[in-house]
Amino acid sequence: MRSVISSKFFFMCLILGFALTGGACAQSDEYNHPLGGKKAPEASLRDVSGTPQQLGSLIKGKKAVLFFWATWCPHCRSQIKELSTRKEEMAKENITLVLIDIGEPAAKVSSFMKAQGIDLPVLLDVEGAAAETYQVFGIPTMFFIGADGIIRDGYNGFPDDYKELLK
């Protein structure tokens, strides 16, 4: 089990990364993530109702977009609205969308989603373990994963050519 010190350190680094980039993670949406070209790591999370979920089983054999975010992040809020508008389009393309909130309790996340009128499932990364595993250094961060389970790349925004990334 991870120590409280490492969790606090991770969150401080996450917030520092957010602050140093002026509230967005990068000038460009693409940043050639170090996990690009590698197998997507496994992560054990819970959904907002408390049900355990294995990330690998949710995306196995499917094209997927993982979206790491938090309710307090302004750029995350705009990106989540963008993802919500593309929900049906992505479903038609057989792309699985997985939202992963970092560091917040279920009640706060559920309340935010309801208040925004957004109907997307959310997994909770309360201690930041999945974000640490995925080397998330700022939010929002999106990972595009091919049906072969390989991470194509990480982005800080939703690229127009996302379908090309997932081929």
Statement: 4-165 belongs to CATH 3.40.30.10? yes
pLDDT at 31: 52
Averaged pLDDT score across all residues of the chain = 82
pTM above 0.85, yes or no: no
C-beta separation of 67 from 25 below 8 A: no
How far is CA 27 from each of CA 22, 30, 82, rounded to the nearest angstrom? 10, 9, 19
Residue type, 143: F
71 pLDDT above the threshold of 60: yes
pLDDT at res. 26: 36
Mean local confidence (pLDDT), 72-98: 93
Structural domain boundaries in the chain: 4-165
Q: Which tens digit of pLDDT belongs to each residue from 97-139?
A: 999 999 999 999 999 999 999 999 899 999 999 999 999 988 9
Mean pLDDT of 131-160: 88
Residue 4 tokens, joined: 């409280």
